[in-house]
């Protein structure tokens, strides 16, 4: 058990007004969780303090070589007034997979979950209740040694901040257009693609800017070796319905193992769909679309939830999917997942954790 010291703010901020458009990740609550790591001592000094700027040496290693990780999960205020987290143990386990890859020390799963629960509890009144909103939770770890040599840091900070948020995409549940990237690559097997670390996202920006300039919301990455096979979108995993089957790229070391991805596979199986985790080439999608078999496409992610894709561009082909409308599977998954998260549906998978 962490012995968390709590220092409450004496100058609470004004909370967003009812009905105010929250956007995503723009507003932050009154408090944050902080814990330090020192080699030889382990994780220590767990505390909840007023949300504040960090004072750090400009020589801190995170600024130079990017030794950092982050996670994303949400707290929901249910229709019954209870506050729920969705599968936080999966975020905790993925934290440690990322930490291993980046030579960051392990963080006990139970400490991660306890810290998330504690800070959410303190800022519980910040959880928005309008449809489609939630409290986005951003845990992250940064390397803090003052040192310009390339080596793993011996000190770290684990911090959790909270952002009352609405839909990740401004369009909400309306289908988005996605650009299948054929010039840049995001990750290769043996690299960091499976890890949740800032470098992967920094590497994605150039293609995202290009896609935005062309009127697309996000980039869909191809594998970095053959540049043929679909991997993931910038902020979500990707699913297709092809000829009645649900198909998603298999985890291969360069794809993020999404919590929502894992949950959607389980829900689709439960709904009676055949689910295939396998390689899918961009060419297969083009052919499936031409023969009328590409029935649906949607992204999955904590921030994005279920995000229908209505348009896919690959070099000279532009595929319009399901008439650019929300598909039946996407809608069913959105309703089921958010129903469980907001306590409107029975959680028979045992996925939610009360705070």
Residue among 351, 253, 258, 352 at smallest CA distance from 301:
258
Min dist. Cβ of residue 154 to ligand COI (A): 27
Using CB under 6 A as the binding rule, whether residue 119 contacts ligand COI is answered as no
In terms of CB distance, is 218 or 322 closer to ligand COI?
A: 218
Could you tell me how many residues of this chain bind ligand COI (CB under 6 A)?
6
| 176 counts as binding ligand COI under rule CB under 6 A | no
CA distance 98 to 192: 8
Question: Three-class SS of residue 328?
Answer: helix
Contact with ligand COI (CB under 6 A) among 22, 30, 72, 220: 72
Quick check: 139 binds ligand COI (CB under 6 A)? no
Closest CA to 71 of 91, 48, 97: 91
Least Å from the CB of residue 124 to ligand COI: 20
Q: How far is the CB of 104 from ligand COI (least distance, A)?
A: 17
Window 183 to 202, contacts with ligand COI (CB under 6 A): 201
Stretch that binds ligand COI, among 53-61, 80-88, 169-177, 296-304 (CB under 6 A): 296-304
Cβ distance to ligand COI smaller for residue 220 or 242: 220
Please write down the long-range contacts of 17-25, taking CB distance under 8 Å and 24 or more positions apart. 18/130, 19/130, 21/166, 22/128, 22/133, 22/164, 22/165, 22/166, 23/165, 23/166, 23/170, 24/136, 24/163, 24/165, 24/166, 24/167, 24/168, 24/303, 25/136, 25/138, 25/163, 25/165, 25/303
Beta-carbon contacts of residue 44 (< 8 Å; ≥ 6 apart): 35, 36, 37, 38
From 128, 224, 301, 308, residue interacting with ligand COI (rule: CB under 6 A): 301
Cα(95)–Cα(107) distance, integer angstroms: 8
Least distance from C-beta 119 to ligand COI, angstroms? 17
User: Applying CB under 6 A, which part among 98-106, 158-166, 242-250, 300-308 lies near ligand COI?
Assistant: 300-308
Using CB under 6 A as the binding rule, whether residue 249 contacts ligand COI is answered as: no
Q: Does 235 bind ligand COI (CB under 6 A)?
A: yes
Judged by beta carbon, residue 137 or residue 286, the one nearer ligand COI is 137
Length of the chain in residues, anyone? 355
* Binding status of residue 352 toward ligand COI by CB under 6 A: no
CB 137 within 8 A of CB 74: yes
Residue 218, Cβ density class (10 Å: 0-12 exposed, 13-18 middle, ≥19 buried): buried
One residue of 237, 302, 330, 338 binding ligand COI per CB under 6 A: 302
- Binding residues for ligand COI, per CB under 6 A? 72, 201, 235, 301-303
């Amino acid at each position: 058990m962490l012995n968390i010291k709590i220092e409450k703010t004496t100058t609470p901020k004004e909370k967003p007004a009812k009905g105010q458009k929250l956007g995503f990740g723009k507003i932050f609550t009154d408090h944050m969780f902080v814990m330090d790591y020192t080699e030889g001592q382990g994780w220590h000094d767990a505390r909840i303090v007023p949300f504040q700027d960090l004072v750090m040496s400009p020589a801190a290693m995170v600024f130079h070589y990017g030794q950092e990780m982050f996670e994303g999960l949400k707290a929901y205020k249910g229709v019954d007034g209870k506050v729920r987290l969705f599968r936080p143990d999966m975020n905790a386990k993925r934290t440690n997979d990322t930490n291993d890859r980046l030579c960051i020390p392990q963080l006990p799963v139970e400490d991660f979950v306890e810290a998330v629960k504690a800070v959410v509890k303190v800022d519980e009144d910040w959880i928005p209740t309008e449809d489609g909103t939630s409290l986005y939770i951003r845990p992250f770890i940064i390397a803090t040694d003052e040192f310009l040599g390339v080596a793993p840091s011996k000190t770290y900070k684990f911090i959790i901040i909270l952002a009352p948020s609405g839909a990740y995409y401004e369009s909400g549940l309306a289908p988005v257009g996605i650009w299948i990237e054929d010039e840049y690559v995001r990750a290769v097997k043996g690299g960091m693609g499976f890890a949740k670390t800032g470098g992967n996202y920094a590497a994605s920006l150039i293609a995202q800017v290009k896609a935005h300039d062309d009127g697309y919301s996000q980039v869909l990455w191809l594998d970095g070796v053959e540049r043929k096979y679909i991997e993931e979108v910038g902020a979500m995993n990707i699913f297709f319905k092809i000829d009645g089957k649900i198909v998603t790229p298999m985890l291969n070391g360069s794809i993020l193992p999404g919590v929502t991805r894992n949950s959607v596979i389980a829900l689709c199986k439960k709904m009676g769909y055949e689910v295939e985790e396998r390689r899918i080439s961009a060419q297969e999608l083009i052919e499936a679309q031409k023969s009328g078999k590409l029935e649906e496409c949607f992204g999955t992610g904590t921030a994005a939830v279920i995000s229908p894709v209505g348009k896919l561009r690959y070099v000279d082909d532009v595929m319009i999917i399901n008439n650019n409308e929300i598909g039946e599977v996407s809608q069913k998954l959105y309703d089921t997942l958010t129903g469980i998260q907001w306590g409107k549906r029975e959680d028979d998978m045992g996925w939610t954790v009360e705070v």
